[in-house]
Every structure is written in C-alpha cells, then in structure tokens.
Structure 1
C-alpha cells in the first residue's frame, strides 16, 4: 500500500470525477464539490448528518446545511488583479482610484480615509494608485465570497473559523471575534496548523508502523499455514488410497461370493434345460407312435419307454 499517495492533491472530485466546483472540505479533510455533497445528503435518511463519500465517516450537518462546511480555498482558483482599474474596487460610488491596498486591492479617497480611520484596516499596507508604486508591493491573491461572489474575503471570524466579506461580516458575524487577514493572524493559524500537523504526522507514523506489522504477521501466517496444508493433503491422500484399496478388496470378495453362487445356479439351470429338452423329445415320440395306424407299428414302438428319460422319476 503506497501511503504517500494519500498525500497527493486530487485534481478532480472523487464523486463526479470532474474539476472541483465550489469545493467544500469535511472535518475528515476530504474535499468534494458542493453539489456532490448536496446530492449525497439528499439520498441519506438521517438529515442531521453527512457521510463522507470517501472514508464513510459521519459528520454533523452545519445549521445552514452543506454550505456550512468550510470552503477548500486550496482548490478554488483565485482571481488576481492584472491592471489598475479606473474605479474603486471596494465601494459602489465609482470613485476614481487613488491608492492600492495590498489586502483590499484598488481603493478611492473615501475608502483610503476609512483605512486610516478604522482599526480593522490599520495593518493593511497602502501605496499610491500609480502602477509604479503598486509594483513595490507583491499583489495578493483575491478570494471571493461564495454568498456574495463579487465581494472579496476581507476578514477572518475566529468565532466561526471562517473568512468573510464585508457584507457577511456586518450581517452574520457582528459581535464575533473578528481578526484582520494579516501576518499576525497567519502566524497564529500556522502555529495551530503546525501543531495539528505534528500530531497527525505522529499518528500517521504510528499507523504506518502498525500497518507494516499487521502485513508482516499476515505474511507469516500465510507462509506458516502452507506446510500444515501440505501435511494435511498428504495424510488425506494416504487415507483415500487406503479406503480405495479396502473398497477394491471388498468388491472383489463380493464378486467372488457372487460368482460361486452363480456357478451353482448355472449348473442347476443347465441340468434342468437338458431334462426339459429330453422330455420334450419323448413326448414328441409318444405322439408320433400313437398316431400310427398299424398295430404292428404301434407294438414295435411300444418297447420304448418315454418315461425313462434322464429327467424322469
């Protein structure tokens, strides 16, 4: 078993065998298309849980259904800004772009003021709106909200452990423990993931060693049983040979006894067949004698006694 294959990133959903569409990752760390999980959930009787199509682990359904499972952002293609747009990307006023935020993309004067005023945006790095200044920063990939597809994910809700756009933040995460998407949050997340990865790696090594041990025992058992099977086969062959030999002897004895009886019966049968033939001849002679018209002929033949035959009394 190549355990390293389990660490490879799947290119296609294992359910629909196509590229991932709105990929969701289950608590067991297996990812599937949103619609594939929804179809799988529709077929289940227990609507309060969802069974992983791959490892068959049952997971409790989130309050808002399958959509409540985490998005697998590692499988979601990001949209990257390739040029400077004419209008602000963060508001709907169509204001001209005056600056570039490495987190929020291109912004106008009002959004720039909000960045300077709000604590939420203080960690964001801002440069002027010209392309030469923007080139000093490495643009970040922009991931978009699944609820509001046109809105980028701006903050991280630690309470819900999900990324959220501004609209989701104001409607569904108000009052929650909201963190900026910055190096500090990343370092905290990396620390947590590394700790979990170390635990998982340790467990993986343990299970690999157990698997190897079980395979070794399985091989030993299979190999140790072969001589026993051979010995049993030999003994059975010997017993079968003895039984067949005994069978042959018994059949021969029966044949011999039967043949002896048959010979006696054959002798009696031959004796009676001879007597019957002789009697039939005598009766035929008697009829011919009685049919004679001349007395002389009849008296001449009367010297023969048809009763004194081989089979007579």
Structure 2
C-alpha cells in the first residue's frame, strides 16, 4: 500500500508547454519561457510574431544563462536624479548616463549616444588598452631578459678582470 502511494506522488514527466502531449522536451524559448518538443519548436519559429524569439537546446541553458549573467544590465540603470526613471542615454559632453527627463531638463543641446553603443565603445577601448598593456609587459620582459644577459656578461667580465688584477698583485709581491 505504501508503495502505491509513493508511486502516485512521484514525479510525472514534463510535457511540451505548447502541444501538451509530447514529453520529449528538447528546446526552450527564452522569450516565452516555454519548454518545447522538436515539432512545436519548428512551428514556433514559423509563427510571424515569434520568428525573432531565441530558442535554445535545453542542454545549453546553463551555458546561455552564464553568458547572459556575465553581461551588465544596462537597460535597468536607475537615474540618480529622477526616481522611477531608468537611464537611456550617455551624455558625452558631461560624461554621465542620463534618463529622458535629464535630457529634457539639462542635456538637450549636448552630444548624446545610446547606452548600448557607449558600452560597446568603452568595452572596445578597455580591451584595446588591455592588449596594449600586455604588449608593453612582453616588451619589458624582453628588455629585462636582455638586461639579465648583459648583467651576466658584465659580471663575468668583472670577475675576469678582478682575477687578472689579483694575479698581477701577487706577481708584484713576489
């Protein structure tokens, strides 16, 4: 009796959230948050209103979520001046992010750029700077290596000359 009760409360296989028939879930629509079978995934992509939705293999969900979590949320940055407003522009003149009210009140004659574009440009500049720093480090390491070789050579020459002087000193004393 206890066995039959535990079987009834056990996990049931999940069904496709579109057709609600197939339990062979292989896909997930990120916009609809639906788990889909292959047949419904193909239909979902053909519907005009959902043809731009991102559908991923369920095996890739954790990888995709990790990539998404690594990206900053530049859409929901609250304005520091206007409560309840999100920033949508970067004022290049003032070098600050602003909301639409800030734009209307104080920045309407300034040089503007979208947050996403400014983020891309800043990220590119940071990556270029990082590459430049790494190249400089390599050049310094090469220079240090050359200095070490030169130092070893000079130390060897010094020891040789020192030995010659000590030999002459000995000769004069004799």
TM-score (norm 2): 0.41
Structure number with higher relative contact order (C-alpha < 8 Å, ≥ 6 residues apart): 2
The structure whose Rg is larger is: 1
TM-score (norm 1): 0.25
